[in-house]
Structure formats: C-alpha cells, structure tokens
Amino acid sequence: MNVRISRSLGMVAVLYFTANFNAQNKTNDTIPKEQKIEEVVMIGYGTQKKSNVTGAISSIKASDIEAVPTGRPEQVLQGRAAGVTVISNSGQPGSVASVRVRGVTSFGAGSNNPLWVVDGIVVDNIGWLNQSDIENIEVLKDGASAAIYGVSAAKGVILVTTKKGAKGRLNLSYNGFYGVGSASKKLDLLNATQYANIINEGFVNDGQAPRYSNPSQYGVGTDWQDVVFNTAERKSHEFSVSGGSDKSTFFSSFGYYEQEGIVMRDISNYKRINARLNSNHKVLDWLTVGQTLSYTHIKNQGINANNEFGGPLSSAINLDPITPVVVTDMSTVDPNGYTNPYIVRDSNGNPYGISKYVNQEMANPLAFQYTQLGKTNWADDIVANVFAEIKPVNHLTFKSALNGKLSYWGNEGFTPLFYLSPTYSNTSKNNLSRETNKKLEWSMENTLTYQNKWGKHNLNVMVGQGVYEYNIGYKETITHSDLPVNNWQDASFNFFLDPSNRSVVASDGIETHKASYFGRIIYDYDNKYLFTGTIRRDGSSKFGPNHQWGTFPAASVGWNVSNENFWPENKIVNSLKFRGGYGILGNDAIEDFLYKSTIVSGSNYNLGNGSASDNVLYSGYAARTLANPDLHWEETAQLNIAADLKLFNNFTLSVDYYEKKTTDILRQVAIPGYVGATNNPYRNIGDMNNTGIEVDLGYKKNWGDFSFSANGNFAYLKNEILRLEDDLKFVNGAGFQSMGAVNRFQIGYPYASFFGYQNAGIFQTQAEIDSYRNADGTLIQPKAKPGDFKRTDVNGDGKITEDDYVYLGNSLPKYTFGLTVNMSYKNFDLMVFGQGQAGNKIFQGLRRLDVQDSNYQTTVLDRWTGEGTSNTTPRMTRADDNQNLTRMSDYYLQNGDFFRIKLVQLGYTLPKDVSKSIGASKIRFYVTGENLVTFTKYTGYDPEIAANDEFGIDRAYYPQARTFLFGANIQF
C-alpha cells in the first residue's frame, strides 16, 4: 500500500492514497477497522473523512477525469454525479456546458451557474483549466455542505483541486491523443424535386398557379448539409513533471489542445495552451508556504450556434435545394441576382449560388464563410494563489491565502464588402475592429483551525474572514472603416485613414466588493454520532443599504449505525449511516448596483428654433431605472435526508431526498412608460421549489486477474414556481420568431414550461369546420379549411385566443441518469459510459417561419392531402389563414428522452518488463469512441439542448460530434 500526503494550496489539505491488495477471490472485508485508511473529501476550507460526512457531496477522482478526453473540464461531471445536470450548450469546439446542481433556483440567464472554487480561488468558470491537472472534484449539493460559501452558494458549489507533487523520485508523464470526428446524424430534408412539388402544392391550395413547371428536372439538387458538415481533427498533448523532498514538493505541467468543428472547420475551431506550477515548502517545523500558478491562452473561432437567425447550420437547413453551390453556367440562373460587384466568388472566379426565394439572414454557407475568415476570439487567464500555514501550538493552525485571477480577452475581425443576397450584404464600407478587455479579481482569506481528539471525542473548529474584490478592469474597442483592401489577410490598423473612419470606444469596469466572516464546528463521538454546524455572514456592494449584510446558517447530523456495539456482523448490510441537514444559502448573481438609480448616457436632445443654423444636438443623461434600497439577494433553504449503505461486501448505495425552496427571486418588473426610466427596475418577487430524490449505486469485485466495477446514478427532480410579482399568474419566457413566447414562468408549473394551443387533430371536411361552433352558433375557427389544425377551446369562450394556451410540457428533464462500467483482465481494460435524461420536451424550431420558401424536413410528406390522409400534419398553404405553423402549439414539441453511449474506451498496458526496458514505469495505449449511439425519438440533430437557462429550444443546434480517438499514457 502506498500512502502520500499532499496539501492543496489555498483552502484544503487532503490525504490521497493508493492501495493494491491481492483479492485471492475473497469476498469478506478482512482488514480490521482500526487499520483502515479512510478516504477523505473536500468540504470547503478543509476536509473530512468520507465515512463521517453528514452532507450531500459527490466526488469525482482523477482516474475518472483522465479517462474522459473532453475539451471542457466541466463536462467530466456529466452522468457521474446524481442531481448534477450537465448539458452542452453547443457541439461547437470550446463551447461551455450548462451545469445545474439540483435544478434551477432563479429566473435570470446565468444566475443558476454553480459557484466554482479551484484550489480555494473563486472563479466564474473552469474553461481555462487543463483537465489533466485536476486531482479531484467535489460537488457540494445540499444546504448544509454549501452554506460555508454563503451568499453565492444557492446554485451549488463545485470544488476543484489540482494535482500536487509528492516526496520521492522525479515523475514524468505524457498523455496525448489524436482523433477525428464527424456528424452522427443528418436531418431528412426535401431534395430539389420534392421541394418544388411541395412549394407548388402550397400555391395551388391557395388558388394560385404553381411556381415550377417541371419539378423533376431539378433532380436531387443541392444537399446543403453536405456543404457545411466536415470531418474534424482533435488532438491533445500534455506533459507533467512532479517530485519533491521532505521539505519541498512541486507539480508542473504543459498542455496543448486543438479541436476543429464539424460545421465549417475554417470558421469553427478552438486552441488552448496551458502551463501550471504548484509547489509546497516546509520552511520551518511550524511554517509551510506554497502556491498554485496557471496560465492559459485560448484562441477560437465560432459560428452562430443554436440561432435560427442566420449562420451556416441554419442556412443549410432552410436554403432551397434548387440553388446551386457554385454557378458555373449563368444560363441556368436568373442573371439579375448576380450583377452586384461585391458578389462572393470561388477561387476560379465563379459566383457562389444565391437563392432567389430564401433570403433574410439565410445565405450560401461557403459565401458566408468568406465574410467570417480571420475573425477570432482570444483569452489569456492567469490564476494564482499563495498561502502561508502556521502552527504556533499543537492542535492550532492559522492559514492566510491571497488568491487572484487576471484575465485579458477580446476579439478581432475584418468585415469585407460583400453581397450574399438582396437582404444580406455590406456594400458601403468595410471595417476592421479589435476589442480588448481586462479584468482583475482578487481575494484574501484567513482561517484559524483548532483540531483535537481526546478519548472518543473528535473536534474541529474553524473560523475565518475574507475580503473579495471583483471586476477591476476596462474595455476598449477600436474600429477602422473604409480600408483600401478587401481581404482579412491584408487588413491592418496601419493604414492612414480619414479621422471620420476611425473610432475608439472605452469604458471602465464597475467594481464590486464583498466581505465575509464564517465559522464551522465539526464534532463526532466515537465515529458514531456526527454533527456539523456552519454559519457565514456576507456583506455585498451589489445590494442596497437596507440589506447589505446577510447571515447564512446550516447544521447537519449523522449516525453511523453500523459502528454501534449492537450492530451485528453480517454479510447483507455491512455498513449503514443516516444523515440529514438543513441550510440557508444566497444567490447574488445579478448585475451590479441595481438598487441605485444610476445615470446613463444616450438621452440626447435638440435646442433651438428648428432651423439648420440654430438647431444644436446636446448629449444628455437620464436615470437608468428607479432606485430600490430594499433589493437583496435571493435566499434558498434546503433540507436533505439521506442514507448510505454497503451491501453484500461489494455494493454501495446512497439515497438522498431533498427539498429546496428559493424565496425572493430577483426579476425585472414592468413600470409605466411615463416614468421616464430607460430600464425596468428589479424587485424580489418570486418563489420556486425544487424537490428531488438521488440514488447512487456501485458494485466492485475481483476474480483473480479479472476485475469489474459498475457505478450508476439516478435523479428525480420536481420543479414548481410558487409565486410571481403582484397578481401575475405567469410571465412570458423565450420567444421564437413571429409566434411570440413558447414558454412561460407560470405559478404551479415547472420553470420555463412550454405553453401553447392543444390541437384536437385536423379538420378533415368542411362539415367538421361548420359543426365546430360556440353557444351563439358562431364558427369557432372561421378561417379554417379542411386540412387545418382544430384548436381546443379550453376556456369555453367560443373563440381561439391565447387564453386557450395550456401546459404542453416541461423543458427541464425530470429524470437524469448515468452508468459507468469498468472491466480489466490482466493488461487489458475496458470502460463503457452512458448517460441520459427523460421527462422533458423539446421545441423543434429549425425552420424559418418568416421565410415561406424555406426547405422542409421530409415529415411534411405525411401532410394532409385529403380526407383521412393525416390527423397530425396540416395541409400545405402559403397564406396559412388558420395560423397552423405561426402559433405555438403541441405540433412543435417532441419527446426529449434519450440515452447516449457517451464513451467506450479500450486500453492495453504494456507488460512492466517491456516498459522498464525503455525506462518507463507505465505505457498504456487506448482507443476511444465518443457519442457512439444515441437512443431517442427526437428528430433534430441532438436531444441534448441548453443555452444558459434556455432548456429544450432547438434553434438549429450545433450537434456534438461522433469521434474516434487513439491515445497514449506514458509515465517515467
């Protein structure tokens, strides 16, 4: 058995160990309890034995993290922690994932993101972090565990510890892989002949002549999906060196990651460079100092992801298949569309095809790509902390840590003169722009810990204090217009331009401040009776003078029943622990100084008599909104009751039940226009409840050279909105094109639920329309024709209006689950990981409603064409007087359930004598398949859809790639 002590720099000290025992086919646990080394977990500002934890904490270790070669480190949580929902915002390289811990607690976009703490440093995300640098991740899910972070903890807290060095010889390691990805699915869209027939049918049904005289002449036409989708390379190289002595240890690493997008890789790609140095130094017997330091550089290009208004993917779905990709024979197209001098051409001088009928933001993807070349985003992040730990006397430890994150980020791009269509062009001036941002955030925290054990009593008391400074920085944007060149390679800020073509805009960051005092008591008696009490008091400049300080208490208890003397030795229930806790948390994720009536510019006005010579424009300022000195943080109270068991010597089972109620949710409220404020003010106006059950089940056993383990988790979530401002029953949510809101925040229903018309089938005959009348004998749907939707008159008022909107489904998944299976036989190992969700609906908004000639999916071929032909898909019509497709209804919703084989990895470790012959301690090769199979009924690209807090709305979602990788792990 190998044991090593490692101190995390910042807040925690953790004992890590590896143990290798010869199983000898024994199933009984033969190690005496007093000789066991127990696993410990991070709990925020400290650690605790896992067997004595009284809160709900999920742990993910380095071995699980390293096995998942993701581009974003937060994605390793997906499917591995019950109650933690991780949904990719996009399959675009470098795209963040939406992480939600036990549901959503607020209404605002971004205000449900968990609190990330890396080595004691509070950060806004972990996209800058090298995945291979992570030692372990702990998710503090319940109120009792998270309350130590007070006003920012209501969304859950995720603690990340990076790797540290250990005493011993120098260790060198390399982890790398190379792979190729592609789209796992294409939509079934109409080909050119089918499209022409469908468009013709719409004209004929409206009493007009067909547009295309001979649809079959167009054949299959252009498959725009083939134009935008491509294979995409992905590669990663990571090197690390670690080691140390009795006095000092260090860990250093360098990483390079690169990924191309499966949609137009020339303008969808991502690169990241990481460097890290962590070290600990025992200066004196009573003094230890250390630091963590990381640098990350990111450069990426991206397209509109999940946006129906433009972008290559949306264009590929909506463009008509009759338009060619490139026009090589002008006699085959209408020449009037190709006379503009700024039309985009290929390398042979041929113009890219321009649709005669599908315009707006829809454009030939290859021509669009030309306008985006050279547009890049970049970011540089330096994240560091230094600490000193002093032990003046036995049992007492004082730690002081200075933490900081310095970020620079921005973008640069050239917009040429171009003509893509009559509605999408830039023919006046080209421009070159560069945006630069800087932000510094720092904090200083001091903790004093007393830890002692006497008899059967164990006591840990910690008190602390912290100060936090946020958003110290600026923003600058420079734009030069009318450059004498028209390509991004030659564009430069060095060109001399007229001053009217040069502009600079700058602004300073709005600094915010927070001060905190916190404390915790952890006590157990004989490892049987467990207690943890926490309190934190936070003061924040974000809130008004009446509520700048808040107090957040929590307590939890536990009982290790199996440690009692009366507990019998048995082979069924080997260990049993009950635990429960209650805590109050806060959420301060809002904009700064909303409680004040701040002044903004832009209220310009004229003075004078109206004549050209006397009329003068003055720049004015006005109040942004009304002041609200009573504005305060949202408050979440959470109850957690749970049990942990070990069964049959090989099974582990944890079951948690929780109730999580958020009160005083922050939201804007409408005020009359005559008030004169430019923005609506914020108030604490809503309440919301989350109730759930989480189950974690594990199994592990060895049979000689064969080992097997399986870990599964399942979570159920019920979300309900309890209160809204004033007398409102609902507030509209996300809109979609011309149909208005497709979801609502409505009392008695889940967050952002779908509401719309309930269709009662399709009118098959005129007689059915004529018989659908109200009490006065008036037609309920007077504009309907056979083949149109029959809407349900829910409120019975004899007409169809938005008052007939009903609940159609939940955008949040009710159930989430994951399963990981690991097997090994001698030098071979196999891992299979799957995850999924159920109980939610997806709004499929792939087609542009305001562009009548947009292409259709082949489901339109099952449309109504006569009595009895369809009761689900309406007739073709361009007029759409019945608003079949332009109003929200259950027609647009599909089942969002899915289960995905997320990862399959087969590895082989070379025999030790072979590795030693080249000086290595371990050499392992592996092949990995990602996103191999998805079991779902959803007909879009990907059922895993989220963008910030907009769940389940598909606006041409950038799908995740199916990827095959080959990699190697080498240790020296």
Question: pLDDT of 738-780, one tens digit each?
Answer: 899 999 999 999 999 999 999 999 999 999 999 999 999 999 9
Query: What average pLDDT score do residues 372-386 get?
Result: 96
All residues at 6 or more sequence positions from 233 whose CB lies less than 8 Å from its CB, including other chains: 178, 179, 180, 181, 258, 259, 260
Tens of pLDDT, residue by residue over 314-337, are 999 999 999 999 999 998 888 888
Whether residue 10 is predicted with pLDDT greater than 50 in this model: the reply is no
Report helix, strand or coil for 369.
helix
- C-alpha to C-alpha distance for 831 and 835, rounded to whole angstroms: 14
The tokens of 175 are what?
A: 């982890």
The arithmetic mean of pLDDT across residues 727-743, rounded, is 91
Range with the poorest average pLDDT among 286-290, 304-308, 714-718, 746-750: 304-308
Mean pLDDT of all residues in 101-110: 84
Average of per-residue pLDDT across 655-677? 89
| Listed residue (831, 656, 718, 577) closest to 82, CA to CA | 656
- Identity of residue 832: V
Q: How far apart are CA 749 and CA 831, in angstroms?
A: 39
Q: Which residues of 56-65 are buried (b: 16+ CB within 10 A; e: fewer)?
A: bbbbbebebb
Q: Is the separation of the CB atoms in 968 and 177 below 8 Å?
A: yes
pLDDT band at 719 (very low <50, low <70, confident <90, very high): very high
What average pLDDT score do residues 222-248 get?
96
The C-alpha R_g of the chain, in whole angstroms, comes to: 31
Query: What average pLDDT does the segment 8-15 reach?
Result: 31
pTM for the whole thing? Answer: 0.91
- What confidence score (pLDDT) does residue 611 get? 59
- Can you tell me the mean pLDDT for 591-607? 78
27 closest CA partner among 702, 708, 563, 826: 702
Lowest mean pLDDT among 26-35, 491-500, 766-775, 893-902: 26-35
- Dihedral, CA of residue 852, residue 854, residue 859 and residue 864, to nearest 10: 20
